[in-house]
Structure 1
Amino acid sequence: MPEPSYTAYRQAGEADAPIVMAFHGTGGDETQFIDLVRQINPRAGLVAPRGDVSEGGALRFFRRTGEGIYDMADLAKRTQRMAAFIAATRDSHPGRPIQALGYSNGANILAAVMFEKPWLFERVALLHPLIPWTPPAQPALDGLRVFVSAGRHDPICPPALTDALIEWLHTQGTAVEPLITNGGHDVSQPELDALQRFLQRPEA
């Protein structure tokens, strides 16, 4: 099956290093996390797709009808499309771990794929996700390493929803590593430091 078409930034990296897949936030693009990934692991490969939904000119990965109000039918369709893209990326790099990070809207599409097909990833980092629904139980999440960061004063992602996501991940058996700061929606330096440790940590 041909790989689903996304405009994407690609960097091969070294053959024995992970592939990092990076998903930008609303208004970002495929270049948003190039420097960050290079800083975290200069040897890693990078695949960063560009969101294919425009909201007033701002790129996103799925439609919404208001702040925190998702078009769930559109999200379901685009989750399947992104899952196929990630699976094709994985198939193109046999034997290389897939580490994925997403911020805001990018974290939301990444989480939606992870809820359905967690076996596509070795590690997942969700920066300021907003998941306003309760996913069905997913036994295949057991043991997956997941990093979740958020700000207690984030005006976009209510802390109660972040707490609910973290609790849900715990109940699925993930090795979840939460970091809640006193910041807002911007990613803070403590989050970046923790993300670097999360992605660089050797396998047990």
Structure 2
Amino acid sequence: MSDAQTAFFPGESDKAPVLMLHGTGGDETDLLPIASFLAPDSPKLGIRGRIHENGANRYFKHTDDGGFDLDNLSTETDWLLSTIVTESAKHGIDPKQLLVLGFSNGANVAAYAWLHKKAPFKTAILLHPMMLDPQASAANLNGVATFLTHGDVDPIVSSANFTGLRRQLTDAGAAVEAYTGHQSHQLTRAELSAAKTWLDKTGRLVLSH
């Protein structure tokens, strides 16, 4: 799509391709070092959020009072999912085989896409996500597996919010594993190592046919 800023890094065809969704202020290559650590041989696709808020790239807007603009979130999630399909076709990737790697804002939109849209991907590592819409979801996430991380002193994502998101995903049928570290809203080697262990354990890096 003409308004999508993306980056693609080829990899082995028998490994699950990684979709990189950055945090606030990041871009399409921001998570490449983490993706390379978690899935060194996989193809990697990054898509930049097209919202610019206070000079920072994002996947959706806030309202004037600092809340989430749920109408914009819905629109931008549709755009992101359409872009995923377009870019996947361009690079010979099956969207159903994508391993989503999202941090903060990117993790948020991925979880929302699962719960409130028909997202094609079945696997995700969501680093410091939060629940954006507390309404119950009618999604069927059977076959979905996700690894979530949280910091117990995170000033952005409360423990109650994180627990709510985990419950939403579990109630929808997803297989959810969570990691909580004594940390704020930043990434640590320990949580990334835990995510890599989860990937190895689930076998989700090897393409299924």
Q: TM-score under structure 1 normalisation?
A: 0.89
Do 1:90 and 1:98's aligned partners in 2 also have CA atoms closer than 8 Å? no
Deviates more, 1:112-121 or 1:53-62: 112-121
**Where in structure 2 are the equivalents of 1:124-203 lying within 5 Å?**
124-200=124-200, 201-202=202-203
Q: Secondary structure at the match of 1:14?
A: coil
Secondary structure class of the residue paired with 2:18 = strand
Distance 2:42 2:59 in 1: 24
Deviations 1:123-175 (A, max 9, x none): 11211112232244334202310111111110011110001111122211211
Which residue in the other structure is 1:13 paired with?
11
Q: Which of residues 39, 51, 73 in structure 2 aligns to 1:75? A: 73
Measured in 2, the distance between the counterparts of 1:73 and 1:151 equals: 28
CA 130–95 in structure 1, closer or farther in 2 if over 3 Å, else same: closer
Partners of 2:85 and 2:165 lie apart in 1 by 24
Label 1:62 to 1:199 Cα distance change in 2 as closer, same or farther (>3 A): same
Aligned CA distance change for structure 1 residues 95 and 62 (closer, same or farther; 3 Å):
closer
Report the secondary structure of 1:173's partner residue. Answer: coil
Point out where structure 2 has 5 or more consecutive residues left out of the alignment.
Answer: none
CA distance in 2, matches of 1:69, 1:167: 21
CA offsets 1:33-81 (integer angstroms, 9 cap, x no match): 1111112222100011112111221111111136861111111100111
Task: For residue 84 of structure 2, give the secondary structure of its aligned residue in structure 1.
Answer: helix
Aligned position for 2:28:
30
The two structures, once aligned, show a CA RMSD in angstroms of 2.2
**How far has the Cα of 1:118 moved from its partner?**
5.4
- Normalising by the residue count of structure 2, what TM-score does the alignment of the two structures yield? 0.87
Q: How many residues align?
A: 202
Contact 2:96 2:120 in 1 (8 A): no
**Which secondary structure does the structure 1 equivalent of 2:57 belong to?**
strand
Residues 17, 96 of structure 1: 8 Å contact kept: no
**What are the ranges of 5 or more consecutive residues in structure 1 without an aligned counterpart?**
none
Give the AA of the match of 2:203: P
- Relative to its length, the structure with more strand (as a share) is 1
